[in-house]
Structure 1
């Protein structure tokens, strides 16, 4: 009897352990199917950015002397070090790593947080996870499937970076180190998002909390690199992005730093699973606070502001700090470019044919505008989230029409875009130290293109809500064209696919009103068309 019961107990323990992971594989396949467009787009854009930078540097600085000059110039400028990081040597690979390690890691982190929150907290928020859990789905299966999806995306990104740069730089080891470091940071923040999904009450808060951690990591790295030219600052060492930087790809790689990243991933993953096992589906460790006995939100606009104020404040703070950073390096651009005619031409293609300083400012203003387009698309698509989450129907059941409800969110989207662009302009002025009216005017000129991309999201949401996420692809294409296009000298006909390609490149030249007015009119027309479609169609159920 004793002999039989011991194996049975062991089998029961094994069965109990596997029961928590039951259904992981089907959920993983479902996540890959749902993200079959989004994941390749993220991976290809981030990977292509690395290869584009390597190709650009290869053509701009084609001799060892030229690369040594640019490294000396950028190392001597603390603002440039804060933006890009330290240059550990003057090889093509080291230049690429310095330029891309922080931005690539931050984008990988953003990709990962979207994946994990989408397949954990958002599933619970919409009620789908509760239905799935009624079947053969273990308690740990949704979180495991989400982390496996993030792992797949980050592994693909690491391989793409490693393979693409190995051919460009001729250094397979350094390319592998850069790819693995970027993917590891992405996976680390995937685990951060998994923790945030357990402790917060909804997907919006989970994304906001994780985004704040990513922003803090980037800020720590930037502050540390500004104070030390070799990545040795304590602030840099406190940042996961700083850890990736200190892997030192293309310069006697420090593989032991990867162990720190892997240990941080493991610790956060264990914490996420522990928290997930101690709460019920739909619950959180930071429950919603009860509101006042008598509501104070009397209009649809007030409700939209209450829902989106955190996003506006976060984007505004980010634009202000980014503007200060860009403004601080403006005076040093001439020293960095020097006599390099190809580098000068890239800035002129980005910012116009005026003087180099004005061209750089115009390029930075344009970049702020293209990033602001991501804000406005996210803000507009909040309507879709409210509808699919079942929160729009109770609002519309009262004395609130669809147009009033949508107009409240659109006011936040469009006015919020103007606010964050103004804050970006203020930051540029603070960093540069002069020309406030000129820079603010240049920032405001970007708004018609920003609004047009937001209006496209409104149009798709109003007429075909299930494909409204395609607005992300259009905004991403505009950002990719503006960032990569000038470096590889794409034809103007291709650059004109982006609305930003039609705007006057201020500051510098005379203001040109026709394209601004045309883009504004198109934005108004698409917004009106989207609202008309919303008024006539059925709500999603």
Structure 2
């Protein structure tokens, strides 16, 4: 039997298992890209507007760090500057999670051992996962190119820009193949891959901040750290501005190196084991782990700490950049109008701060989904069945998980408001006052996150097999409606489907109590439906 025997059949199995996820990924990426490209074209419709954007972006260190370098005043260059980092981060994370799910997670659950008992080569499971994920990246990039071209951008630049996005997915597919060999758990492999994404973002940001602005002031040449980052490679393609096609060979080279390394590492370990030995825990558990609350905290604290650090750093950065962004959007009426649409106020800086708090609330919604979907993982792994065999009711167990996710979301909102206010206050001279004001404004977003928690809980109780896909899909819909709906001028009936739409846009406007009470009521209905359905359905063993 050869090492790749059974690869084709396993690839078909991966396609069968992930058919819904792949469809959302492959179709959702170009749809999101088309919406973003259309909104950017509306905000910067003429050469004068794009000239102002390019000049301010090239001179702003914050804009370079978060959006990347600008490559001229062409509409396509502005679209790339506004959309590349967002799309690249999405495909990077989706690619790593997909590879881990069909490699390390299969080993962790014992599925790989069952497959290995048949006529399957040692490298077949990893190769099948890589083939499917790479093909998904290529197909999503091709459709994204058509979407950009459909939005009125030149075809050559569209292909180059979207190939750069697909190249990021391919590069992190290779990185995930290696991390899957290192960690003994899927959670650990995903954490290592996510850390690689974070490091790549930092290197790219450092290279762009240290880059040189052109004599005309509308272009930035990145410094050497960007070349160390797969995220930075995409910017170096220079789509819509003298495309450098040879840069696209770098992700391919990394893929070859990563796959070769993963094969070599797979030879050095046993089935189900990892090259990094798991840390040995204490011989006996502490008393607090005997309760569902203590166990939920123990399982969530590492994830919550990572989220807290990320939110704090980003919040402080966004607060410090408040005055700079205010100056940027004041020079562009169309950009100011877009910020006002997202923030809901006439005062530009208040609208900016409101928009930032809204983005934090949407981001923290991802934490809520991630935390609550752990219950589905526990059910699939058999952990839930063991927990329910003790003197713990279903309602208490699920309610504890919801409580832990809600408290974590509350803490993250508080951190987001405090750090954003502190950063802005350091610029204005009133750090304590701004921190207190924005902390209160951030906490007003909690009812919307309760609705997110309620939706996930209801899906877990009513449709457990589909809960993972539908939960992330719901959050993506909330993202598109809550943040881009007003910019895209969608009908109000569509905007009302997002709970974030109903949150008062504080500090841009005065707070209102009724919408928050209604959101809390909707959340209670969803939570009650989820708990009731969970109490009456089977728990697979």
Report the TM-score range of the alignment, normalised by the length of the smaller protein. Answer: over 0.9
Cα displacement (A) at 1:176: 1.2
Cα displacement (A) at 1:374: 1.4
Moved more, 135-144 or 529-538: 529-538
Distance 2:22 2:315 in 1: 30
Contact 2:457 2:531 in 1 (8 A): yes
Structure-2 residue corresponding to 1:527 = 527
Contact 2:308 2:415 in 1 (8 A): yes
Moved more, 252-261 or 511-520: 252-261
Distance 1:278 1:440 in 2: 51
Contact 1:446 1:503 in 2 (8 A): yes
Q: Does 1:406 align with 2:425?
A: no
Q: 1:464 to 1:260 in 2, by over 3 A?
A: closer
1:307-351 deviations in whole A, cap 9, x for unaligned? 222211122222122222322332123332235443222222211
Structure-1 residue corresponding to 2:217 = none
Q: Does 1:444 align with 2:426?
A: no
1:259-317 deviations in whole A, cap 9, x for unaligned? 22221221111111222233222211123333212211232222222222221112222
**Superposition map of 1:330-409 within 5 A:** 330-338=322-330, 340-409=332-401
Distance 2:413 2:199 in 1: 21
**Superposition map of 1:84-163 within 5 A:** 84-163=67-146
SS at match of 2:538: coil
Q: 1:504 to 1:423 in 2, by over 3 A?
A: same
Cα displacement (A) at 1:482: 2.5
Q: 1:441 to 1:535 in 2, by over 3 A?
A: same
Cα displacement (A) at 1:45: 3.0
Aligned length: 524
Structure-2 residue corresponding to 1:459 = 458
Of 285, 288, 310, which aligns to 2:302?
A: 310
Contact 1:224 1:231 in 2 (8 A): no
Q: 1:42 to 1:329 in 2, by over 3 A?
A: farther
Q: 1:45 to 1:427 in 2, by over 3 A?
A: farther
**Superposition map of 1:481-496 within 5 A:** 481-496=481-496
Structure-1 residue corresponding to 2:513 = 513
Structure-1 residue corresponding to 2:269 = 279
Distance 2:498 2:57 in 1: 31
Distance 2:331 2:424 in 1: 23
Moved more, 239-248 or 398-407: 398-407
Of 248, 252, 267, which aligns to 2:238?
A: 248
Q: 1:430 to 1:46 in 2, by over 3 A?
A: farther
Structure-1 residue corresponding to 2:478 = 478
Specify every segment of 5 or more residues in structure 2 that has no aligned partner in the other structure, as ranges: 214-219, 426-430
Contact 2:343 2:508 in 1 (8 A): no
SS at match of 2:19: coil
SS at match of 2:73: coil
SS at match of 2:523: helix
**Superposition map of 1:137-286 within 5 A:** 137-228=120-211, 229=213, 230-286=220-276
SS at match of 1:280: coil
Q: Does 1:43 align with 2:20?
A: no
Q: CA RMSD in A?
A: 1.8
Cα displacement (A) at 1:177: 1.2
Contact 1:54 1:92 in 2 (8 A): no
Distance 1:452 1:170 in 2: 38
Contact 2:69 2:222 in 1 (8 A): no
Contact 1:49 1:484 in 2 (8 A): no
**Given the two structures, how large is their TM-score scaled by the length of structure 1?**
0.92
Q: 1:388 to 1:52 in 2, by over 3 A?
A: same
Specify every segment of 5 or more residues in structure 1 that has no aligned partner in the other structure, as ranges: 1-15
Distance 1:246 1:325 in 2: 25
Cα displacement (A) at 1:376: 0.5
